[in-house]
Amino acid sequence: MKLLVTGGLGFIGSNFCRYMLAEHSDYELINVDKMGIGANPANLRDIENDKRYTFIKGDICNPQLMNRLIHQVDAVVNIAAETHVDRSIADPNLFLQNNTLGTFTILEAIRRHNHKARLIQVSTDEVYGEALEGSFAENATLKPSNPYSASKAAADMFVLSYHKTFGLNASITRCTNNFGPYQLPEKLIPKTIIRALRDLPIPIYGKGINVRDWIYVEDHCAALRIVLEKGKAGEIYNVSAGNEIANIEIVKKILGQLGKPESLITFVEDRPGHDTRYSLDAAKIRAELGWQPKYEFEECLESTVKWYLKNEHWWLPFATEVILHPTPWKLGGFH
């Protein structure tokens, strides 16, 4: 089976490419990535010479490119996106273009040029908005709180409409917060590790009580594979490992592992529209597709901290912003 993976040089994309080639020798991958903010060619050094893997530098918003590539594949796993909520507050248009119009461009390419191609749209739990109580199932109302989640929710709506109106063989996954190797330093876990290693204050929005539901990235990759292979067209699958934990607790665990004092924690003014809690009900993917998480949270957090300790050469080139400017939304953008 030949797959077009978009955004394969980013955090989840690179883990997914490596996972698919390791697990399935009969997959061939074309990875198209515009080499934007989250991208790093070093993420896939170990597979770049694999005969089953091709990299193309390109933008999913480019219809000519998407039309050309769609002829060559059996399925598309659309992972490409602008992903940082803080950046979406500083520059919402970037998110509308890449996340919503980028997905639209892929849908049009499939509709016009390879109607049978399967599409997995990689979405996020953030489209549901904050979960004040209980957990969201797939039929919950979408209530995105920031331009990032709004751009992802809009993309999801286009995917569902292209399934219903044009019969596209498309499914959507909505996963919780990922962590693991190759995550860009600006995200909570790597940022905490990097700043703690340098004895810099660890900024925490508000009181640090915001709860996120964490999943080890390889468990997410396994869920994407199973939805690709067994998921039903037109269906949405929530993906959660059920690890709800407050931001401040994660930071304390990392500081503890690194032997750094909790006095490094510094509370900073909350960002606008900051959701207090995300929580997903992932019973459907477990019951219908047989997926379940393989990894345990505490062990994986420890191994992730160790990975960052060992791989300073990987993150150092990206770490300047994180070391100098821990709360980007206040800076008015990254231009």
Ligand X SMILES: NC(=O)c1ccc[n+]([C@@H]2O[C@H](COP(=O)([O-])OP(=O)(O)OC[C@H]3O[C@@H](n4cnc5c(N)ncnc54)[C@H](O)[C@@H]3O)[C@@H](O)[C@H]2O)c1
* Catalytic site positions: 125-126, 148
41-80 mask for ligand X (x: CB under 6 A)?
------------------xxx-----------------xx
Q: Smallest Cα–Cα separation from 218: which of 8, 7, 12, 5? A: 12
* Residue with Cβ nearer ligand X (172 or 264): 172
156 lines the binding site for ligand X (CB under 6 A):
no
- Letter for the amino acid at 236? I
Q: Smallest Cα–Cα separation from 177: which of 246, 121, 234? A: 246
Shortest separation between residue 253's beta carbon and ligand X, angstroms: 18
Shortest separation between residue 150's beta carbon and ligand X, angstroms: 12
Exactly one of 31, 135, 171, 177 binds ligand X (CB under 6 A); that residue is 177
39 lines the binding site for ligand X (CB under 6 A):
yes
**DSSP for 12-76, written as a single string:** HHHHHHHHHHHH-TT-EEEEEE---TT--GGGGGGGTT-TTEEEEE--TT-HHHHHHHHTT-SEE
Strand partners, 327: none
**Which H, E and C letters describe 112-157, residue by residue?**
HHCCCCEEEEEEEHHHHCCCCCCCECCCCCCCCCCHHHHHHHHHHH
* Residue with Cβ nearer ligand X (94 or 305): 94
34 lines the binding site for ligand X (CB under 6 A):
yes
98 lines the binding site for ligand X (CB under 6 A):
yes
Q: What is the DSSP letter of 238?
A: E
Kindly identify the residues of this chain, within the stretch 193-252, that bind ligand X according to CB under 6 A. none
Exactly one of 4, 5, 12, 282 binds ligand X (CB under 6 A); that residue is 12
* Residue with Cβ nearer ligand X (83 or 114): 83
Exactly one of 146, 178, 192, 279 binds ligand X (CB under 6 A); that residue is 178
Element housing 249 (H / E): helix 247-258
Question: What distance in Å separates the CA atoms of residue 187 and residue 44, rounded to the nearest whole number?
Answer: 20
Exactly one of 2, 24, 35, 257 binds ligand X (CB under 6 A); that residue is 35
Is 184:38 a contact under the CB 8 Å cutoff? Answer: yes
Q: Among all residues, whose Cβ is closest to ligand X?
A: 10
Binding site for ligand X (CB under 6 A): 6-7, 9-13, 32-36, 38-39, 59-61, 79-83, 98, 102, 122, 124, 152, 175, 177-178, 184
